Chains A and B, each alone.
Chain A
Amino acid sequence: MDPSQASESLALIEQAGNATRRAMARAGAGYQFIIWGLVWLFGYLGTQLLENEASGYLWLMLDCFGVVASAYAIIRLSRRVRSPGAWKFGIFWLLLLAFGGLMMWVVWPLDAEEYVLFITLLIAMGYALFGLWASTPLLIAGIVIAILAILGWHFLPTYLGFWLAFTGGGGLIGAGLYILRAWK
Chain B
Amino acid sequence: MPEFDPIIHQPVRLRIMAALAALSKGESMEFTFLRDALDLTDGNLGAHLRKLEEAGYVRLEKTFVDRKPRTFAELTAAGQRAFDEHVRALKDLIRSAE
Instruction: List chain A positions with a Cβ less than 8 A from chain B.
Output: 1-3, 6-7, 9-10, 12-17, 19-23, 27, 79-85
Contact = CB atoms under 8 A, between A and B. Distances in A.
A53 to B, nearest CB: 42
Which of B18, B39, B91: most chain A CB closer than 10 A?
B18
B42 to A, nearest CB: 15
Contact of B97 (A3, A14, A16, A82): A3
B23 A9 contact: no
Contacts of A81: 23, 27-30, 33
A9 B90 contact: yes
Interface string B4-42: 100001010011101111111011111011101111000
B94 interface: yes
Given A3-B97, A9-B14, A79-B66, 14 more contacts: A1-B9, A12-B11, A12-B18, A19-B19, A19-B38, A20-B23, A22-B37, A23-B36, A80-B29, A81-B27, A82-B28, A82-B29, A82-B72, A83-B24
B55 interface: no
A19 B26 CA distance: 19
Interface string B43-62: 00000000000000000000
A109 B11 CA distance: 62
B30 A79 contact: yes
Q: When A and B form their complex, which 4 residue pairs have the shortest distance between CB atoms, in order from nearest?
A: A16-B18, A3-B97, A16-B15, A23-B37
B81 interface: no
Nearest to B91: A10
Given A6-B94, A80-B32, A83-B24, A12 B70 contact: no
B94 A10 contact: yes
B4 to A, nearest CB: 6
Contact of B87 (A2, A10, A22): A10
Nearest to A7: B94
